[in-house]
Amino acid sequence: MGVDGVTGIRDGAYIHPITSVSKMHRFSVILQTTLGLLLIHQFALTAYSASKFSNVRKLSAEWVKTQRQIAQEKNEWEEEKATLRNMIQLLSEEDTDLARRIEEAKKDVSQSDKEREKLRTEKETLQNIEKVVKSALAEQENKLLELVQWLPEPLKDLDANEGGIANLVEKIPEDPEKTDRAMTRRLQSILGITSIIDKFNNNVLVEHGAREIDGKTVNVTTLYFGLAGGFYVDGTGTRAGVLTPAKGGWKEEANNELAQELFKAVAIYEKTTAEEPRFFILPVKFLATVSE
């Protein structure tokens, strides 16, 4: 069926020219719109795909970064864990060592307490001994001070280097019960005095000097027979006497009957005679007396 291009008749039917043009225009618009929508849709799909790919790549990068961080932190944790294990081991060893030291310290404290108690006991014992020694020293010093009053002049008036005890007696405290003088020095003085007295008592001492006889000063020789007593005789063998121990000074008693025998005894002792040594019997009894 044909269409007339002028009249717009198609297969015997009449078509108005304006109507045909409008339909074509509408179709063109629809087609253009459809193509525009397709283009927009395609652009949207392309943009969405690009955006999605970008997100995926970004997510992939974040995931890789996260995995690296996890691996790094895991390595760091392993290192820290090893360090912590070492620290725990070290602390455990230190704790064991500290416990051992505490036990040793407890033992040391216990031993120290025992030593302290032992020292305290020893100190008390020494203090008691010191009291006993001080008391004994005071007693001996008082006895010596009493004894000194009975000693003959050569013994009590001379110093130790001269055979006497004068300088040693001066060291005896006036009140032995209250003195602060060291016990060792006090003991040395006592031993020195008793040693000299003992030596004097076990020997015969011959001393030359002057004595008052009948109101005159006469040179005599005096013989001390230890602490038992003594005799004196002048240089002519005519005057003699007996010395008897007494408190405050030995007592003199004239006895000229003994003069000749004493004179010979002195000569034999000093080897100024050819006479042989012999025993001399002197009819004398020494009696200690108290002289006021």
Question: Residue 236 corresponds to which tokens in the numbers above?
Answer: 């002519």
State the pLDDT confidence band at 52, using cuts at 50, 70 and 90: low
Calpha distance 59→56 (Å, rounded): 5
User: Which of 201, 203, 265 lies closest to 231, judged by CA?
Assistant: 265
How is residue 123 written in tokens?
Answer: 């100190």
Percent of the chain with pLDDT over 70: 80
Note the pLDDT of residue 150: 93
- HEC secondary structure over the chain: CCECCCCCEECCEECCHHHHHHHHHHHHHHHHHHHHHHHHHHHHHHHHHHHHHHHHHHHHHHHHHHHHHHHHHHHHHHHHHHHHHHHHHHHHHHHHHHHHHHHHHHHHHHHHHHHHHHHHHHHHHHHHHHHHHHHHHHHHHHHHHHHHCCCCHHHHHCCHHHCCCHHHHCCCCCCCCCCCCCHHHHHHHHHHHHHHHHHHHCCEEEEEEEEEECCEEEEEEEEEECCCEEEEEECCCCCEEEEECEECCCEEEECHHHHHHHHHHHHHHCCCCCCCCCCCCCCCCCCCEECC
Segment among 8-17, 54-63, 112-121 with least mean pLDDT:
8-17
Query: Distance between CA 262 and CA 260 in Å, rounded?
Result: 5
Q: What is the pLDDT of residue 56?
A: 67
Say yes or no to pLDDT of 5 above 60.
no
In tens, the pLDDT along 85-111 reads: 888 888 888 888 888 888 887 777 778
Average pLDDT of the residues in 4-23: 50
Q: What is the pLDDT of residues 208-237, one digit of tens each?
A: 999 988 889 999 999 999 999 999 999 999
171 compared with 282, residue with greater pLDDT: 171
Q: What is the mean pLDDT of residues 248-270?
A: 91
pLDDT band at 289 (very low <50, low <70, confident <90, very high): low
Are the C-beta atoms of 275 and 255 separated by less than 8 Å? no
Each residue's pLDDT tens digit, 124-138: 998 899 888 888 989
User: Which pLDDT band, with edges at 50, 70 and 90, does 193 fall under?
Assistant: very high
Taking alpha carbons only, the member of 253, 250, 274, 249 closest to residue 264 is 274
The total number of residues written for the chain in this structure: 292
> Taking all residues of the chain, what is their mean pLDDT, rounded to a whole number?
82
Classify strands 216-225 and 204-213 as parallel, antiparallel or unpaired: antiparallel
pLDDT confidence tier of residue 142, bands split at 50, 70 and 90: very high
Quick check: pTM over 0.75? no
Percent of the chain past pLDDT 90, that is, above it, reads 32
Residue 84 has pLDDT above 90, yes or no: no
Q: Write the pLDDT tens digit of every residue in 19-49.
A: 555 666 666 767 777 776 676 766 666 666 6
Domain limits of the chain? 132-199, 204-290
